[in-house]
Amino acid sequence: MFHLRRTLKDFRRTFGDPVLAVGLIIAVLFVVITILLPIFSMVSAGLSGEGLTNLQRFIGDPVYLTIIRNTIVMGLTVAVAGTLLGFLFAYVQVKVKVPFKRFMHVIALIPIISPPFALASAIIILFGRNGLVTKGIFDTRCLWGEGRGCNDIYGLDGLTLVLSLSLFTVAYMNLKGMLEALDPALDEAATNLGGSKWHIFRTVTVPMLVPGLAGSFLLLFVEAIADLGNPLVLGGNYEVLATRIYISIVGLFDTNASAALSVILLIPSLTVFLVQRYWISRASVVSVTGKPTGKPQQIEHPVVRWTLFAVVMAVCVLIVAIYGTIFVGAFTEVLGVNNTFTLSHFDFVINGYGAEAMTDTTLLSVVATPIAGLMGIFIAFLVVRKPFPGRGALDFATMLGIALPGTILGIGYLIVFNNPIELTIPIGETPLVIPLIPKLTGGRALLGGALAIILVYIVRSVPAALRSGVSLLSQIDPAIEEASTSLGANNAQTFRRITLPLIRPAFLSGLMYAFARSMTTISAIVFLTTPQTKIMTAQILNEVENGRFGNAFAYCVILILIVIFTIGVLTYVVGGSSAATRGLQGGR
């Protein structure tokens, strides 16, 4: 009875302010229509009628069982490798006394602002069957014999390399923040008790980082099994669920089969997401003092420090070589075959077929970015500051936008928004038809499918702003906002004048992530592009599949420059002194 009265009291308090009530309704409708409805439609299509028949056939087919196993193996391999690589970079950045830390930090951030399969294209040029390294420099093509494929970069090995380098930044940023937040007094106390550096590492440092390691592992797993571009470019005979779904739609035009495969892909993704949330909710890793004091102890043992330094620098050199290949290849006729300098690839992108894709992608990303940033921050404000029934469910549902593979959302949007959803009310001889959801995809799509793509961009970007906002709001004393309310300001005024300026770093971080994510995504929107709306990542994929790497590299260079320029503008406009900006600008 007490809980019921408290719930009713919270409900009346929330809806007592009209502005707050309208905002909550908008947030709930946004989550239901743009996230839950597509997922529900995809699952319904996969578990009913022809979709269920396909699902039963897939589960019993050895070929599809191999594809499922390939997907799980790739996800686990990439998650382990990427998390370890991110931890290595973070540990060296915070705990090891070595030079060039700022350089390492900048290099570690580069994969965030590049297309997901840009690395795969460069890897083929460098380490492919006729690559510059494997054939031109070291001639290592047949190191293991002709019958073993001669160092074939295609398949699981190449995918693990490319995806680990593409995704380790997520683990790096997460673990770097946790390492910096550890109280150095813990290490000092263990040292005073006679513990060696290795003993302290095993018994103090690693246990304190377990939640971050687990969270990074689970996130990288989901990102790896959801990736579409890299398996299409570098998968070879190693087929995964994402590529099979893509073939079912683009090659076979079989929506029911793709929905059934998406249901299979949904199971490990949703399981991992639920495990992650359960882990985070139960994890309790707290330092004694709560706030770090002093500087972390730096490892100075020559063997340890220079070994770790050599490994990290080797990875940095590899990343520089890969992106150097992209840059040089954009200005070369055919890199490795005809190295003549040319601007024809940029002419193709800027003045030819690629101009429309460049304009459309940038415009759609610019439209989606502020909406995603504001929506994420507002939902964070509701979840942290306003007790109302179902706020946990709102947070959970919003996070599904990034927790589930983009392929699943793309299929869901294709099913839901390919036909308008209407409410028919029988009135006399002519029924009244009320359009609930307009047609957003297909031949006569609203704005040529652009609106559907914008919605996907927003859905995929809101969770980052939400998590940043929740983290920062949790550190701000609610008494500041309560003082504003007590002085006569309503909730809208308090949020605009007090809360939003205080969480400006989280807002800026959400905006930068939203724009970079929108510009570089492919799996979630590849099924929604139309002749009226062209997307740069889809065009890059098309150029790579047709072997026109010079054009693809020119696209990548322009895309990266657009992202860097826009991040600079956002930093200047929103506030260059924020913590988020300082985190992006340099290491220790």
Mean pLDDT along residues 367-396? 85
pLDDT value, residue 3: 55
pLDDT value, residue 21: 79
pLDDT value, residue 573: 82
Is the confidence at residue 286, as pLDDT, over 90? Answer: no
pLDDT value, residue 85: 94
Q: Residues, the chain, total?
A: 588
What SS3 state is found at 487?
A: coil
User: Rounded to whole angstroms, what are the CA distances from 413 to 42, 214, 447?
Assistant: 8, 31, 15
CA 473 to chain centre: 22
Q: Among 516, 517, 168, 93, which residue's Cα sits nearest to residue 319?
A: 168
pLDDT value, residue 287: 46
Mean pLDDT along residues 311-326? 92
pLDDT value, residue 314: 94
pLDDT value, residue 17: 65
Residue bearing the bigger pLDDT, 394 or 487? 394
Helices 156-181 and 101-109 pack at an angle, to 10 degrees, of 130
Beta strands at 332-334 and 421-425: parallel, antiparallel or unpaired: unpaired
pLDDT value, residue 194: 63
Q: How confident is the model at residue 7 (pLDDT cuts 50, 70, 90)?
A: low
Cβ of 334: how many Cβ atoms within 10 Å? 15
Let me know: does 153 contact 111? Beta carbons within 8 Å. no
Distance separating alpha carbons of residues 94 and 97, to the nearest angstrom: 8
Class for domain 1-46+343-588, per CATH?
mainly alpha
Is the confidence at residue 230, as pLDDT, over 50? Answer: yes
Is the confidence at residue 260, as pLDDT, over 90? Answer: no
Beta strands in 244-366 (DSSP E): 332-334, 338-341
Instruction: Pull the structure tokens for residue 142.
Output: 């047949």
Q: How confident is the model at residue 80 (pLDDT cuts 50, 70, 90)?
A: very high
List of residues 6+ apart from 161 with CB closer than 8 A: 123, 153
CA 575 to chain centre: 24
Instruction: List 435's β-bridge partners, or say none.
Output: 422
Q: How confident is the model at residue 428 (pLDDT cuts 50, 70, 90)?
A: low
Q: Which of 24-33, 275-284, 323-332 has the lowest mean pLDDT?
A: 275-284
| pTM assigned to the model | 0.79
Query: What region does 295 belong to: left with phi over 0, alpha with psi -120 to 50, or beta?
Result: beta
Residue bearing the bigger pLDDT, 389 or 318? 318
Burial class (CB in 10 A: 0-12, 13-18, 19+), 577: exposed
DSSP conformational letter for 498: I
Quick one: what percent of the chain has pLDDT higher than 90? Answer: 14
For tokens 């998650």, what's the residue? 79
Distance separating alpha carbons of residues 169 and 108, to the nearest angstrom: 6
Instruction: List 434's β-bridge partners, or say none.
Output: 423
